Each structure stands twice: as structure tokens, then as C-alpha cells.
Structure 1
Amino acid sequence: MYSRVNYTLIGVFVILFSLGILYFAFWLGGKGSHDDNKIYMLRMKESISGLSKDSGVKLKGVNIGTVKEIRVNPKNIEEVEILLSIDKDIPIKEDMKGVIKMFGLTGLSYIEIEGGSNGAKSIESKDGEIPLIKSGDSLFVDAETRLKHISDKLADILDRGDKLLSDENIKNLSSVLKNTDKITAKGVDIEDKVASLMVEVNTTIKEFRVSFNKLAKGYDELALNLKRDMPPLTKSIKQTSDNIDRLSIEIEKTVKRGDYNFKKILQPSINDIEALSEELSRLTRELRQSPSDILFKSRGSRRGPGE
């Protein structure tokens, strides 16, 4: 009888203990769901392969929640709705985005919350709906977009290359090259002519320099001749002028005395005038016979009349 009572007590204790554990588990689960976490919605149009219920949700590599549910949007079959259960103490900002990332090469995925700033507003529920987190492109979608862009660019380059290397363009290019060869040949001929012309110009310049030097030398000789010949001639003219002055004075005195023997009075001046006239006549004849002698012929000093 005692054994039966003991078994009964043990059975009751086990049942009560099991019920207590179940109650504690339900209480803990309910408290975690309603008190510690907050539900957010994430809508994505890309494939979510590798992502499953209870997959992790991370912010800067720190676990902040889990994936609670995955379903197709009944209002838009192009979208997948992902319900995220995130710690309510973690503020989710309006400038944050949810991105699917992969654990290395395992094929398992998780949700990474990117972005966010302290100055941004926190996401709040509107009209009782679940708060919506913006979605961003995953690494694979970004790589696919970039590869598509590169592929389009490459196709465009190849298409332009085909157009550039068309038969008509190749023919035109050949024509341009032929014309370039002709222009180059003409350029060489022109270069030779220019070189020859430059030689002639240099020769002309040298001849001009020689002629100019001769002219300068002749000018110097003319200056020397004039410098040498002019003083005697000037002196002779001055003496003639003085003689004329004396003649005038003598004539005036003679007139006053009543003596009119002009031949005697004028004879000295007439002699000077004849000598000067002879000198001028000789110079005129020389200029007519050889004008260059005045520049290049050396002369001895000539005496003036009366010297």
C-alpha cells in the first residue's frame, strides 16, 4: 500500500513539474515576442534563396533579431514579404535599408540592416500597419546589374567596331592613306624647294651685304674727300669774297677821288675770278666724264686762287 502511494505522489509531482516547465516556456516565449521584440516588414523583389525562417538579422555585424516569417505579397506577386522580429531597444531609422547577405560560401543567408544616422527619424507604424523597412540590392543583384551594364557597353563597342571596320570605311581609309602619301611626297618636294629658296635668299643677303659695305665705304671716302676738298674751296670762295669787298671799297674811294681807271682797280679781282672759274670748270668736266671719281678717286690737296 505504501509503495502504491509513493508511486502516485511521484507521478503527480512529475506531472506538475512538467506543466510548470511548459507554462514557463510559454510565458517566456510570449514575453519575448510581445515585450522584448518589435515586428518590421521588409519587401524584396529579388530572389531570397538561402534565407529561411529564424535566419539572423544583423546591424553592423551584431545580431539584433531573427526572420519570423517569409511569404509572397498577396497584393503583388513580384514581391516577397519578410517579417523581421527585432529587439525593441534597437532604433530602426528611416534611412536604413535591409539587404540579403550570405555567410561565406555556405549558401546560408541573413538580413543585414545597413545605413542609418542618429539625426534620422525612427520608423513608426502608420494606420496600424507593420513598420516597413526599405530594401536595398544585395551583392549579387549589384554585381548582376554591373555585369549587365558592362555587357551592354561591350556590345555597343563591338557594334561600333563593326560599323567602323565596314567595307566602305576601309575603302575610305585606304583612300585617305593614299592621299596622305601624295601629300607627304608633295611636302618633301616643297621642302626641297624651300631649302633651295633659302639658299638663294642667303646668297642674295650676302651679296647685298657686300654691296652695302662697298656703298658704306664709298660714302666714307666721299665724306673724306669732301672733308679734304671743301676747306680749300671754302677758303678760296672766302678770299674771292674778301677781294670783292676790297674791290668795292677801292671803287668807292676811286669814285670819291675822281679816278676812274677801272681796269687797274679790277685787275686783281678779275684774276681771282678767272682762277675760281677755271677751278669750277675743271670740276664740272671731271663730273661729266666720270661721276664715280668724286666717290672713289683720291686727289691731292688743291690750292685756292692766290695761294
Structure 2
Amino acid sequence: METKANFILIGLFTLLLTAVGFGFVFWIARYDDVKPMKEVIVRFEGSVAGLFKGGQVQFNGIKVGEVSNLNYDPINPKYVKAHLLVDSEIPLKQDSKVELAFRGLTGVGNVEIKGGTPELPDLLDQEKVPQLIATNSAMQDLMSGARQILTRADTLLAKVEDVVDTNESSIKNSISNVETFTAALKNNAGNIDTFLADASGAAKGLTSLSARLETLSDKAESLLAAVDPKSIENSVENVEKFSQKLASASEKFDVVVEDASEAAKGINQFSASLTTSLSKVDTLVESVDPNVVRTAVASLGTFAKSLETSSSDIDAILSEAKLAAGNINTFSQTMSSRTEDFNTIITDAKQLASRLNAASKRVDGILGKVDGILSDEEGGKGLVQEATLAARSIRIVAERFESRADEIASGLARFSGKGLRDVEGMVSEARQTLRRLEGAVGKLEDDPSSLIFGGNKVKTFNRRH
């Protein structure tokens, strides 16, 4: 038996086994590459940092190929062209999304293909090489947004620095003012507590007052609800009708007032001239000697003759006086048909008549003393002419008043009817309102605090009553 081994043969056999092992492992590793592969071109916008040749291509997270080449786009420099070799059996559609993905925090990139519409045709079944445009991944959007945010933050910080540098003194003054204010608050902490307590009390008072105001508003609403709206509408309609009647009769009242003012002016002028004449007559009577009066009595015959010569003038005066009396009679009949509201006017007329009677008596007494003066023919004629003119003026006034009497009477009748009743109702309501106001003022004078705190609502009864 041979005791020495052949080391050369052993070494060759070992090398052969190692080569066979490596070949088997390589054959196992290349088993997946037996499937047919097809090329796909993907265009990425912007940077593809982290993606390299030989990087993985995944379809919904499953490896289906690798990156065979990376190159820039000669037509548009913004894009990068990536040539991919992928499994020809994957369902690559026209709307499939392609994006650049990264594995964890290593920064190694890979191409991720997602989904697609099943009804669309497969791009890999076409003869030409399919081309897709990649979309930005979430990481790319995040990095882009982060860059924009950092850029804006840098710009904002630069502006803040400029503002601080420009307004450094103002900021220091503001800080010192804040320190002064906080120190004042610290020194007046007790007063602030008192102020807050007072404010809390005032808020409580306002709360109670608001509750009472709510109760008062409820009572007011119930009171308004109890009032019949028809009565209010009737009152408003009556007031409106009364105002319309007054407005329609305003022109007539203006005419009446103008006529009355003209008549009053004539009466004033006549009374003034009469007063002047009476004063002159008194002076004249006092200065007349009784012997002269006897002579004047003896001259009555002459005066009678002068009256006979003036009989035509006297007849004219009497006829005009009759016409004036007829007009006055018509006016008195019209006034007698009016209501009691004209009692005041009648009373004033009676007083005026009594005064006129007294004046007539005085004139009668004076006429005897004036006979001597009237004995003169020219003086008598002048007095008769003045009396004629006065009678004509009175007749003109009476005719004007008679032509307006019906209009005045109808207006006064309307006013004395429904208008007076409406006025009486308004006056009674005003009296009731005044009584309520007096009662409220009396209660407020007795207890002023009731305006704020409401007072004591419990009535106090005296047992003695």
C-alpha cells in the first residue's frame, strides 16, 4: 500500500469542485433573467440624484427589472432620460404612474411603477419603445416644499433683521414702556382688585336690571296686546279726517280772517275818531257858558229847518241802516243754529253790546250839549255825511260776512260735531297719561332707588284703615 498522497491531483480536484460550485451558483442567480425583457424610456423632470445604473425597477413594490442607462435629454435640458429593462409580462398602461422612490434613509433611489386602467392596451405589446413621463414623488415634493419654505424663512429673517436694526431705539423704548406699565400694575395691585370687585358688582346689578327690564317689556307687550287695534285705527282715521277738513277749510278761514281784520280796522278807526270827538266835546261842554246854551236852545228852530233841508240824506241813511239790520238778522239766525261752542262768542258780543249801550247813553247826553254846534248848517251837513259813510262801511262788512256765513257755519258745525268729540277724547287720554306720569314721578320721589333696584313690590297696608 502506497503511503504517500499525490498533492497535485488533490489540488486539481479541489479547484474543479470550486469551479463547479461557482457555476451552479451563477446558474441559480441567472435563473430569473431567463424571462424576456423589454426596454422602456422614462423622462424625469429635474434631478435624479440617488438613482444609478443597475438600480431596481419595481412594479407595485415587486422587482420587475433594472435601470440599464441614464442620460440627459438633448432636446429639453430640464429632463433626464432613464432606459429601463422590465419584464415583458407586466401590465404597463398609458396611465401608469412612474416616480422616483428612495429606500429608507440611505438615499439609494429606484424607479417605482404603479397601477393603470385595465381596459387600456398594454404598452409593451407595441413594436416601438414606450415612453412615459415620471411624476414627482412625495419625497421630491417634500424636498421641494422644504426648499421653498427655507428660502422664504431666510427672506423673512433677513427682513426681520433689517426692521430690528432700523428700529432698534424704538424697540428699546417700547420694552422700557412695557416694564414701566408692568411695574405700575404691580404697585397698584390692590386698586386693581378693588376695581375688578366693583366691576363684578356692577355686572351683577346690570344682570338684575336686565331681568327686570325683561319683565317690564313682557308687561308692556301684554298691555299692547290688550289694546284693540281697531280702536287705534279709528282714532288715527278720525284725526286724519279732522286734519284734512281743517286743511280743506284753511282757505275759507283765511278769507274770513281777512274780512274780519278789515272790519276790525274800520271799527278801530271809528272808535278812535269817536273817542277823539268825545274828548273834544267834553272840553267844549266845560268851556260853554250856560247863557250860550240858552241861545243854542233858541236856535233849535234853525236846526230843525236844517234837518228838513237834509231829509234826503237822512232817508238814505235809514234805508242803509234797514239793509244792515236785515243782514244782521240773517247772521243772527245762522249763529243761533250753532252749538254751545259759540256761547263764548255770544257772551263777548253781549259785553260789547252793553258797552255800546253805555256809549250810546253817553252820546245821547252829549247830543243835547252839541245842539248849539249843530245849529250851524255846514257843520250839520258834515256830520250827516260822516254818518252816511260809516253806515255804508257797516253795510259792506255785513254783506261780505253774509256771503261767507254759510261756509263759516258749515265748517264750524263739522268742527263742533265729530271734531270736538275727537278732541275731547284726546284731552281725556292726555289727562289720564298726565295722571300716570304724576303717579310715576311721585313714586320716584318717594323711592328713587326703585329706578335701579326695582323697590319693594310688596304693598304695605295700614290696619287703621
Question: TM-score scaled to structure 2, two decimals?
Answer: 0.30
Whose strand fraction is larger, Structure 1's or Structure 2's? 1
Give the alignment's TM-score, normalised by structure 1.
Answer: 0.42
